[in-house]
C-alpha cells in the first residue's frame, strides 16, 4: 500500500545529542514536509522540499537540519541546538502544483521525541 512511513514512533534523546527521524514515502510525491506539533498549537512547518536535492526552511527551522538525496526520503535531524525538542513530529508529502488533487497533504503517523 502507498503511504508515508515514519520511524521510530518513539524516541528518547539525551540533552546534547543529535537524533534523526526517518521519513519514507512511496506515493511518488515530489514535495515533502516536516511539521512539529505541540499541545494546544497548530502544526508548524520546520522544513520543506519541493524536489530532490532542494529544501527550504519553514517557520521554525532553527536547530533542525534535513536532506533530500532521494525522492522518497526526507530525514530530519534534531540537533543539540534545538532548545526545546520534545514534541510530536509529523512528516508529510504532496504533489505540488495547482491541481486540486495536488493540494492534499498526506501525513505519516508521527514520531514522538522526548528529551530526558
State the Cα angle at 90 between 57 and 101, rounded to 5°: 85
Strands (DSSP E) along 42-105, which ranges?
44-49, 56-57, 64-66, 76-78, 87-94
Query: Closest Cα partner for 114 from 3, 15, 4?
Result: 15
15 sits in which H/E element: none
Helix (H, G, I), strand (E, B) or coil at 109: coil
Closest approach, Cβ 43 to other proteins, in A, equals: 4
Contacts with other proteins, residue ranges (CB under 8 A) = 4, 6, 31, 33, 40-44, 48, 50, 88, 90, 92, 94, 96, 100, 103-110, 112
Residue 88: strand pairing partners? 37, 112
Amino acid at each position: 500500500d502507498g503511504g508515508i512511513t515514519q520511524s521510530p514512533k518513539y524516541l528518547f534523546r539525551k540533552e546534547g545529542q543529535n537524533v534523526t527521524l526517518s521519513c519514507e514515502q512511496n506515493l511518488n510525491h515530489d514535495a515533502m514536509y516536516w511539521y512539529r506539533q505541540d499541545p494546544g498549537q497548530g502544526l508548524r512547518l520546520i522544513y520543506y522540499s519541493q524536489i530532490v536535492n532542494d529544501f527550504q526552511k519553514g517557520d521554525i527551522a532553527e536547530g533542525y537540519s534535513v536532506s533530500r538525496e532521494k525522492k522518497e526520503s526526507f530525514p530530519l535531524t534534531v540537533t543539540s541546538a534545538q532548545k526545546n525538542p520534545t514534541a510530536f513530529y509529523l512528516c508529510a508529502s504532496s504533489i505540488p502544483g495547482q491541481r486540486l488533487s495536488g493540494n492534499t497533504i498526506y501525513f505519516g503517523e508521527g514520531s514522538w521525541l522526548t528529551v530526558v
